[in-house]
Amino acid sequence: MSSFLSRFAMLCCDGTTGMEETTKEVEVDASAIQEAVDQTKEKFATYWPRNIIILFGAPGSGKGTVAPNMEALLETPQLSTGDMLRAAVAAQTEIGKQAQEVMKAGGLVSDEIVVGIIRDRIKEDDCKFGFILDGFPRTLDQAKALDAMLSEEGACVTKIIALTVPDEVLEERICGRWIHKSSGRSYHVKFAPPKSMVLKDDGKPDPESMLDDETDEPLMQRPDDTAEALVKRLEGYHGETVPILEHYESAGIVKKVNADQKPEGVWEEVQTALKR
């Protein structure tokens, strides 16, 4: 058992001179604390249900913007089928080759492929306390497949955070988006520009100047972030994805958030919606 000495600043009240700051040396057994933490985590992973959240919303509604905050708050991973499929396309795996053209045109990849991806991913260790699904399910069949795979362990979706934004604002958001490929960080030429952005005489950003704030690596635009592909993506969203909300409505777990406001306001509302 290892131990270490640690100094703690303590506030003591002596009744005559008021509050005074003193320090006291306390012996702390670090490995005993770690053991207790690990045992508590193990109990949660074994006996408590997983916290399974769906982050729901149209293309450009702000799912990818809000997800990192949710990950940090809940300490559970964001599982984005879009990111996973883009990684498969970049690596030119069999799935990537099948998905590439459909994605570029703004269509939906087959249920079979995405359900398979999620089924494997949620078995990984970092999902043991729960996970945040971003971009999945996207069809009623995917929702039913998700329910069925969760019911195998007696689990179910615990909450749906549905970001609502009128279609009219989405084109500007989508066409102005730039992303940092490896981290998924999302920028916008007007609403969230990178620090390095320089505008040319025509008011458009100089692509050379679009760099990630944290790594200085180049940003990129997604091939499906065009006005043409957005029309198809929105058709798919309204026709196939929105009915999922009705499927979960009766369980009382759908929380709508107004995402047509500044990102800070969206995050405030999301935090309220996440509370019990």
- Minimum distance from CB of 233 to ligand AP5 (Å)? 5
- Minimum distance from CB of 136 to ligand AP5 (Å)? 4
What residues make contact with ligand AP5 under the rule CB under 6 A?
57, 59-65, 80-82, 85, 102-103, 106-109, 114, 135-136, 138, 142, 173, 176-177, 186-188, 191-192, 224, 233, 259, 262-263, 266
* Catalytic residue (one of 86, 173, 185, 233): 233
Q: Is 138 a catalytic residue?
A: yes
- Minimum distance from CB of 14 to ligand AP5 (Å)? 52
Q: Is 173 a catalytic residue?
A: no
Nearer to ligand AP5, 85 or 161 (CB): 85
Nearer to ligand AP5, 67 or 254 (CB): 67
The amino acid sitting at 156 is: C
Give which of 193, 238, 275 is closest to 61, Cα–Cα.
238
Nearer to ligand AP5, 35 or 217 (CB): 217
Nearer to ligand AP5, 138 or 180 (CB): 138
CA distance 154 to 50: 10
- Minimum distance from CB of 113 to ligand AP5 (Å)? 8
Q: By Cβ distance, which residue is nearest to ligand AP5? A: 82
Q: Is 7 a catalytic residue?
A: no
* Catalytic residue (one of 222, 232, 255, 256): 222
β-strands 186-188, 177-179: how paired?
Answer: antiparallel
Q: Is 177 a catalytic residue?
A: yes
- Minimum distance from CB of 46 to ligand AP5 (Å)? 30
Q: Is 222 a catalytic residue?
A: yes
* Catalytic residue (one of 63, 86, 159, 173): 63
3-state per-residue secondary structure call for the chain? CCCEEEEEEEEEECCCCCEEEEEEEEEECHHHHHHHHHHHHHHHHHHCCCEEEEEEECCCCCHHHHHHHHHHHHCCCEEEHHHHHHHHHHCCCHHHHHHHHHHHCCCCCCHHHHHHHHHHHCCCHHHCCEEEEECCCCCHHHHHHHHHHHHCCCCCCCEEEEEECCHHHHHHHHHCEEECCCCCCEEECCCECCCCCCECCCCCECHHHCECCCCCCECECCCCCCHHHHHHHHHHHHHHHCHHHHHHHCCCCEEEEECCCCHHHHHHHHHHHHCC
Nearer to ligand AP5, 189 or 254 (CB): 189
- Minimum distance from CB of 59 to ligand AP5 (Å)? 3
Nearer to ligand AP5, 42 or 268 (CB): 268
Catalytic residues: 63, 138, 177, 222, 233
